[in-house]
Amino acid sequence: MIKRLLERFRRDQGFLKALVRVDFFPLNQVTPEIHWQRGNSADDLIPLLIFLYARILYELAELNEVRVARELMAFLKQVMAKVLAPEGPPRRVRLPLGELRLGPAPATTPVRSYRAEFFELQGGGWRLEFQGSLGKESFYLPAAYLALLQHCLAGENLPDAQLAGLARGIERLHQYYRLRRDFWEGGALTAAPAFALGTEELAEEPGGQA
């Protein structure tokens, strides 16, 4: 029995699709990178960004930074509304990052680092492991995600169809949190992205928060 459980556990770990790192350096420089281990398509990038966004919101809530999490959601709601233009192809907006500058990593030690490992499961679906530096998370966690998102928006690996799909996925993630549960619940780390990437419709439950 133990052997079967261990085999199932190993099988359910899936295989590593991508390594994500976002490093912050002195002089307000930030370097976001995605290192693909298997595949490198826009269709893979969408679930990666959705799962990471859900994890960032969860981490903020765990640190009692719910206000910051809601501000990030409100900001990205506005951004995605601009991306999904009423007519024509989606718009490639430039995110306001304040004094932060995106660029290649300098030959110095980063002052803050965030890492994520993105896995594709054998039976379908994905999971994400996350780790990061401690201190000033109310700034660095949202900044890490926005820097990575800007890096992807400016790259060549997100064609118009996938960009529109990403925007709709982020909107559906917001819908899930609004109708079903809040981002500090551990179960939402998988259920919310699964809903965001699917087509299921939800009805508001008693006690749901807008």
| pLDDT digit string, tens, across residues 41-60 | 778 999 999 999 999 999 99
The four Cα atoms 72, 78, 80, 86 give a dihedral, to 10 degrees, of 170
The residues near 1 (Cβ < 8 Å, ≥ 6 apart) are none
pLDDT of residue 132: 86
Q: What predicted TM-score, i.e. pTM, was given to this entire model?
A: 0.88
For the stretch 73-111, pLDDT in tens is 999 999 999 999 788 889 999 999 999 999 999 999 999
On whether residue 207 sits in a domain, the answer given is: no
Contacts of 168 (CB under 8 A, 6+ apart): 80, 84
Residue 123: pLDDT band by 50, 70, 90 thresholds? confident
9 lies in a domain? Answer: no
Residue at 131 is within a domain: yes
Burial degree of 9 (CB within 10 A; 0-12, 13-18, 19+):
exposed
Residue 4 pLDDT > 60, yes or no? no
Residue 124 falls inside a structural domain:
yes
Asked whether residue 17 is domain-assigned, the answer is no
Q: Does a structural domain hold residue 121?
A: yes
Whole-angstrom Cα distance, residue 91 to residue 89? 6
- Report the number of distinct structural domains present in the chain: 1
Tell me what percent of the chain is helix, strand and coil, each rounded to the nearest 5.
Answer: 45, 20, 35
Q: Is residue 187 part of a domain?
A: yes
Give the pLDDT band (50/70/90) at residue 133: confident
Q: By three-state DSSP, how is residue 119 classified? A: strand
Average pLDDT over residues 116-143: 89
200 pLDDT tier (thresholds 50, 70, 90):
confident
137 inside domain = yes
Across 7-25, average pLDDT:
78
Distance between CA atoms of residues 92 and 154, nearest Å: 8
d(CA 114, CA 62) in angstroms, rounded, equals 16
pLDDT for 206: 57
* Range of the structural domain that residue 36 is part of: 25-196
